[in-house]
Amino acid sequence: MTAPFLPFALPEIGEEEIAEVVDTLRSGWVTTGPKAKRFEADFAAFLGDPALHTVAVNSATAGLHLALEALGIGPGDEVITTTHTFTATAEVVRYLGADVKLVDIDPATLNIDPAAVEAAIGPRTKAIVPVHYAGLAADMPAILAIARRHGLKVVEDAAHALPTTSGGQLVGTLGSDATVFSFYANKTITTGEGGMLVTRDPALAQRARVMRLHGMNRDAFDRFTAKVPSWTYEVVAPGFKYNLTDIAAALGIHQLRRAHAFQQRREQIAALYEAGLAGLPVVPAPRAPAGQTHAWHLYAVRLADGAGIERDRFIERLFDAGIGCSVHYIPLHLHPYWRDRYGLQPALFPHSQHAYERLVSLPLYTRMTDADVQRVVQAVRQALAA
């Protein structure tokens, strides 16, 4: 019999998550309410810093938008980020009428290159948005030092990075102005759709809370559960619709409790891949420095220059063998919008371009068995041998 298709990613949802969602449905409060507040409090406790403020939102994209808006980014400003990311990282800058300055990556880590960041700073630069690619922390000490020297804000795109560490500290507790996590279906923990904005700045957090729900100064839960009836509110700004529902938060409450166990299993799978692919014309996924934690959201390998097969044909052979895989990412400089708006060419981003032409993300999720991993390894060997 033909083996069943092995997907690129699957969430791991347990009975605790299911029971919490059912409890939410039975409670009658399914939009933003007590479960969302509990998830925010649990997330702050998970990060372990009492000075942090947490704001639950319906996506990491929303969180990035809210953070930059609260920092006052607007028309005439410029924000530096990496070309090697999903478009959401950059598009939120355009939402605000500001411009994006894309820079290249470090070829060893695939993370944003701090030297390229500093070289790109100009008179309009107001902020840096580093991305922790695949769950490996960007060089945050260098980036934060650059930001301090030039008076710039830093918003971390930590969509891949729970529970990643940098310098022994969890991402989310570093010296940036805000950090934004993703709980999309394929992330290290999931709420289906969702995200969390984290900051030490109470004014930024308050602005984000107001702007995530139409610019109202009181949300429905506050209004409808007050001991003294109070239906009034004020619209203080033209806000957005970015709130996280209690149904989604119910998933997050229990996913968060399993985040470290999930990371450990992902790390085991990554180690199995590295051992199984040894000796093949494949560059393994970058590992974290000693003493640091890699979240292993992705296991992205690169075909070596002597692999003897083009990346796209390699992916076709894996799919023919029943293995789901992906590419992270098609760099922004290759997409028509970003290419045409800023006149970008691959030659401006040699490291990202070189990586992209060889990158393949192999399946990596906690429900994979060791046998599943070995099946992927065998499929890679056969694809290369063919």
pLDDT tens track for 324-343: 999 999 999 999 999 999 99
Q: Once rounded to an integer, what is the mean pLDDT over residues 73-86?
A: 98
Q: How confident is the model at residue 225 (pLDDT cuts 50, 70, 90)?
A: low
Question: Of 257, 275, 297, which residue constitutes the final position of a domain?
Answer: 257
- Active-site residue list: 187
**202 and 343, same domain (yes or no):** no
In this structure, the answer to whether residues 110 and 199 fall within a common structural domain is yes
216 and 317 in a single domain? The answer is no
Name the residue type at position 149: R
What's the CATH code of the domain at 116?
Answer: 3.40.640.10
First to last CA, the chain: 22
Residue 1 lies in a domain: no
Please report, as a single letter, which amino acid is at residue 153: K
Structural domain ending residue among the three candidates 257, 279, 309:
257
Residue 10 counted as domain residue: no
pLDDT class of 223 with cuts at 50, 70, 90: low
pLDDT in tens, 229-263: 677 889 999 999 999 999 999 999 999 999 999 99
9 belongs to a structural domain: no
Q: How many CB atoms lie within 10 A of CB 12?
A: 16
Cβ-Cβ contacts under 8 Å for 336 (sequence gap 6 or more): none
**Measured distance CA(37)–CA(32) in Å, rounded:** 8
Answer yes or no: is 189 within a domain: yes
CATH code for position 356: 3.90.1150.10
Instruction: Examine residue 102 and state whether it is found in any structural domain, yes or no.
Output: yes
Where among 209, 238, 257 does a domain terminate?
257
Give the mean model confidence (pLDDT) for residues 125-148: 98
- Could you tell me if 235 and 303 lie in one domain? no
Q: For a pLDDT cut of 70, what percent of the chain falls above it?
A: 97
pLDDT of residue 2: 78
The pLDDT of residue 373: 98
Report yes or no on 163 lying in a domain: yes
Question: In this structure, is residue 5 part of a structural domain?
Answer: no
Same domain, 205 and 279: no
pTM (predicted TM-score): 0.96
Q: Has residue 219 got a pLDDT over 80?
A: no
Same domain (yes/no): 288, 250: no
Tell me the C-alpha distance between 137 and 170, whole Å. 10
Phi and psi (nearest 5°) for 271?
A: -65, -40
Can you list the alpha helix ranges (DSSP code H) found in the chain?
Answer: 15-27, 34-47, 60-70, 88-95, 114-120, 140-150, 202-211, 220-224, 246-257, 259-276, 311-320, 336-342, 350-356, 370-385
Domain count, the chain: 2
Q: Are residues 27 and 65 in the same domain?
A: yes
Instruction: Give yes or no: residues 100 and 164 share one domain.
Output: yes
Residues near 128 by beta carbon (within 8 Å), at least 6 away in sequence: 79, 80, 81, 117, 143, 146, 147, 152, 153, 154, 155
Residue 3 domain-assigned (yes or no): no
Note the pLDDT of residue 224: 58
pLDDT at 221: 62
Quick one: 213 and 133 in the same domain?
yes
Are residue 333 and residue 217 in the same domain, yes or no?
no
Same domain assignment for residues 143 and 270:
no
Q: CA-CA distance, 206 to 5, in Å (whole number)?
A: 46
Angle in degrees, CA 45, 49, 54, rounded to 5: 65
**Residues of the domain holding 266:** 259-385
* Claim to verify: residue 263 and residue 253 sit in the same structural domain: no
Has residue 381 got a pLDDT over 90?
A: yes
